[in-house]
Structure 1
């Protein structure tokens, strides 16, 4: 079952501010295996299938050092179509020598973690079948266990690295926020349900009983401030709604709570209580 298409609401893209777009492009093309969809001197749009945007890189004009202990991106997560694909990218990273920061079995998924040249966190994962996820009423069971990397590598079939599979999608986004309950109330207005929680640490939310489309945590400190817009990091992430009616319902709810709303072409922008910017689009 796909949790990243109609009738679900889901995260589909992320836009990043970077210090050096040429250095970032080398990483995203050569290490991660993205294709360039469009490119200018200040901006590049990246894709896995040659047509669907997943990551946008925007060059900062006067970059400041990356700020720590702020709200913003913890990681964005690329969902691969199979365990074999995860094995192939692990083997590729081993060959290139690019450092992996972690590897975990989350019960619902298997994942590896790394960072781009600006320190933006990236998860690359594959889902286990949702038929095997364990639910306790409305909460899905997740954990952080060691990844059986040898078993994953054994699934890899293609000897030659050919980049990200065409069916790679933006699986979820995980954010640093200032307050969990305030954040929970905001994303519930967007139509997301809490499906897993770690009290006083993190919440995981989704539509359609996915294990999570959005994760949030207060690991950078309760009450953390937003980073400077001149600092490398996330500019915005995109949420896709199945139709205009559902988006309009959400926009009305956001207006009711006093959220800032702006429009740009066919997109609508807002910010969560921690100043993480969100682009609301219709599929």
Structure 2
């Protein structure tokens, strides 16, 4: 089996939300996105006014489910260019009265929050890759220590921004799945992602391309064999995996069809249903 190309990244995330007006107020004024395009029921958001990172689609009858009850989105993660920008984002969140979780993961520093529909969000900044460490089994050593909040705010100083900075991307996505062995079979055996964190004690598996600390996190924290998100619930519709060239797209497409996964070609990319999270993946260039 050929591993996935090392330059593979996460592209954008598409969410179903209950009220576009409510969500735009949150994602623009609290998170700092800009609207690239908008219709009556959808909006495309970016950090730089060009590259779409988040797509929102309104379903006024969408049901907001309790946390950790179904498979699907645990959080999508907004990666900022540096620690100072994380401090500026933290100050903006505090000034907006947002309830926050946080964790110093050794490879990164992260803030956690939810949008008005209960969709999980991580905002984080990586530490230099040269400081990342692996254990004897090749897993990245990741911790959940308290973030140095005062240090982040000192880094920001008096600087305040209403928008996310250029260079912001979706760094990773973290999913509730039905079974970790089945997740491994799909994401590593078929697609070719590398395991970079087999955290059995945490009931989680982290995978990536090109040695990143994780592009996709997989967990069974909603319970093994948890049910899928109902069609009428808010949450993750699909996320995109960006491949570097047509050859890699052809390879991934062939690997999926050879393994018996039905694919669908759409304008946005090659779609396949993730068999363990219930969400769809769009492979794009």
Report if TM-score (shorter chain) is over 0.5: yes
Deviation at 1:142, TM superposition (A): 0.8
Does the aligned pair in 1 maintain the 2:73–2:119 contact within 8 Å?
yes
Q: How does 1:106-255 map to 2 (within 5 A)?
A: 106-136=105-135, 138-157=138-157, 159-188=159-188, 189-199=190-200, 201-255=203-257
State whether structure 2 residue 43 is matched by structure 1 residue 44.
Answer: yes
CA–CA distance in structure 1, aligned partners of residues 168 and 71 of structure 2 = 27
Does the aligned pair in 2 maintain the 1:15–1:57 contact within 8 Å?
yes
Corresponding residue of 1:77:
77
> 3-state DSSP class of the match of 2:36?
strand
Q: Alignment RMSD, CA only? A: 1.4
- Between stretches 27-36 and 138-147, larger displacement belongs to 138-147
Following TM superposition, the consecutive aligned residue runs of length 4 or more in structure 1 with deviations greater than 4 angstroms are none
> 3-state DSSP class of the match of 2:37?
strand
> 3-state DSSP class of the match of 2:249?
helix
Does the aligned pair in 2 maintain the 1:74–1:175 contact within 8 Å?
yes
1:180-232 deviations in whole A, cap 9, x for unaligned?
01111111122211101211600000011100000000000100111112100
> 3-state DSSP class of the match of 1:136?
coil
Q: How does 1:16-95 map to 2 (within 5 A)?
A: 16-66=15-65, 68=67, 69-95=69-95
Deviation at 1:80, TM superposition (A): 0.3
Q: How does 1:239-278 map to 2 (within 5 A)?
A: 239-265=241-267, 267-274=269-276, 275-278=278-281
Deviation at 1:161, TM superposition (A): 2.1
Deviation at 1:123, TM superposition (A): 0.2
> 3-state DSSP class of the match of 1:166?
coil
- Between stretches 253-262 and 176-185, larger displacement belongs to 253-262
Please give the TM-score of this superposition, normalised by the length of structure 2.
Answer: 0.93
- Between stretches 269-278 and 235-244, larger displacement belongs to 269-278
Q: Relative to structure 1, is the Cα distance of residues 30 and 214 closer, same or farther in structure 2, using a 3 angstrom cutoff?
A: same
CA–CA distance in structure 2, aligned partners of residues 169 and 118 of structure 1 = 22
Corresponding residue of 1:279:
282
- Between stretches 88-97 and 203-212, larger displacement belongs to 88-97
Please give the TM-score of this superposition, normalised by the length of structure 1.
Answer: 0.94
CA–CA distance in structure 1, aligned partners of residues 33 and 192 of structure 2 = 31
CA–CA distance in structure 2, aligned partners of residues 233 and 203 of structure 1 = 21
> 3-state DSSP class of the match of 1:145?
coil
Kindly tell me the number of residue pairs found equivalent between the two proteins.
Answer: 276
Deviation at 1:104, TM superposition (A): 0.7
CA–CA distance in structure 2, aligned partners of residues 246 and 237 of structure 1 = 18
CA–CA distance in structure 2, aligned partners of residues 65 and 136 of structure 1 = 39
CA–CA distance in structure 1, aligned partners of residues 103 and 66 of structure 2 = 27
Deviation at 1:158, TM superposition (A): 5.1
Deviation at 1:152, TM superposition (A): 1.2
CA–CA distance in structure 2, aligned partners of residues 194 and 160 of structure 1 = 38
Does the aligned pair in 2 maintain the 1:173–1:214 contact within 8 Å?
yes
